[in-house]
C-alpha cells in the first residue's frame, strides 16, 4: 500500500474506532487527539524500508532496521506494537502529559498500517518472529493505488454514516472487550515494571 493509502486508511480507521466506541477512551476521546495521533504513526511500520516515505527522510534509522529485520518484518508485528508501547510508557518523562486518547490514537494508526498491509498479497508477519504471513489479498499492487483510494473512501464513508447500533453489534462488542482486556493486562505489566 502507498503512503497516501496508509494515511487515508488510518483516518478511516480512527473515525470507525471512535464511532464504534471500541474503547471507553476512544468513545469519550477528542477528535483532535485521536485522528492526528493516528496519522502521526500510520507510516511508522515502514521505517523498515529505506525507500518508503518515512525511510527516505530517516535513512539513518531505516537502513539499520531494514538490514536487521527486512521489509515487513518485526515492524509489522504485534510484538513491535507491544515493544513501542512499553518503551513509550517506561521512557517518556512523566512531565510530558500525553492524553490517553492520543496514545490510543497512535496505537490505532500503527495498527491501521499493519491491517492495511494485510490486504495485500505479501501480507504481514503478525506473530513475528514466527514467519507465518497473515493476508487477505484484496489489493494488488499492479492495479495501482486507485483501488486503495476506493477502499479507503468506502471505509471512511461507512465509518461516518454507520448505524448508531453498531457499538451493540456482537462482533464489535467482543472486539471492544478483547481490546479492554489487553489494555488492562498491559497496564498491569507496565505498573509492575515501574515498581521494580
Contacts of residue 167, defined as CB under 8 A and 6 or more positions apart, other chains included, come to 20, 21, 27, 173, 176
User: CA 79, CA 77: separation in Å to the nearest integer?
Assistant: 5
Q: Which stretch of DSSP H or E encloses residue 117?
A: helix 100-118
Cα separation, 65 vs 49, whole angstroms? 8
Alpha carbons 84 and 105: distance in angstroms, whole number: 14
Task: State the DSSP string of 28-43.
Answer: HS-HHHHHHHHHHHTT
pLDDT tens per residue across all 196 residues of the chain: 888 889 999 999 999 899 888 888 999 999 999 999 999 999 999 999 999 999 999 999 999 999 999 889 999 999 999 999 999 988 888 888 899 999 999 999 999 999 999 998 889 999 999 989 999 888 776 666 788 888 888 888 888 887 666 666 666 666 667 777 777 777 778 777 777 7
167 DSSP 8-state letter:
G
The CA-CA-CA angle for residues 53, 58, 60, to 5°, reads 140
The residue among 126, 119, 113 whose CA lies nearest residue 39 is 113
pTM: 0.85
Amino acid at each position: 500500500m502507498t503512503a497516501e493509502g496508509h494515511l487515508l486508511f488510518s483516518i478511516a480507521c480512527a473515525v470507525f474506532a471512535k464511532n464504534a466506541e471500541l474503547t471507553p477512551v476512544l468513545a469519550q476521546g477528542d477528535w483532535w487527539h485521536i485522528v492526528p495521533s493516528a496519522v502521526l504513526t500510520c507510516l511508522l511500520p515502514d521505517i523498515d524500508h529505506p525507500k518508503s516515505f518515512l525511510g527516505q527522510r530517516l535513512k539513518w534509522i531505516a537502513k539499520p532496521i531494514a538490514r536487521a529485520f527486512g521489509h515487513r518484518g518485526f515492524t509489522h508485528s504485534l510484538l513491535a506494537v507491544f515493544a513501542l508501547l512499553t518503551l513509550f510508557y517506561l521512557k517518556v518523562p512523566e512531565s510530558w502529559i500525553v492524553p490517553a486518547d492520543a496514545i490510543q490514537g497512535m496505537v490505532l494508526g500503527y495498527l491501521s498500517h499493519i491491517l492495511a498491509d494485510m490486504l495485500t498479497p505479501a501480507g504481514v508477519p503478525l506473530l513475528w518472529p514466527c514467519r507465518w504471513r497473515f493476508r487477505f489479498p484484496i489489493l494488488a499492487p499492479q492495479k495501482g493505488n486507485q483501488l486503495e483510494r476506493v477502499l479507503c473512501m468506502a471505509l471512511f464513508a461507512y465509518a461516518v454514516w454507520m448505524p448508531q447500533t453498531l457499538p451493540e453489534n456482537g462482533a464489535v462488542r467482543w472486539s471492544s472487550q478483547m481490546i479492554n482486556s489487553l489494555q488492562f493486562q498491559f497496564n498491569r505489566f507496565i505498573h509492575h515494571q515501574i515498581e521494580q
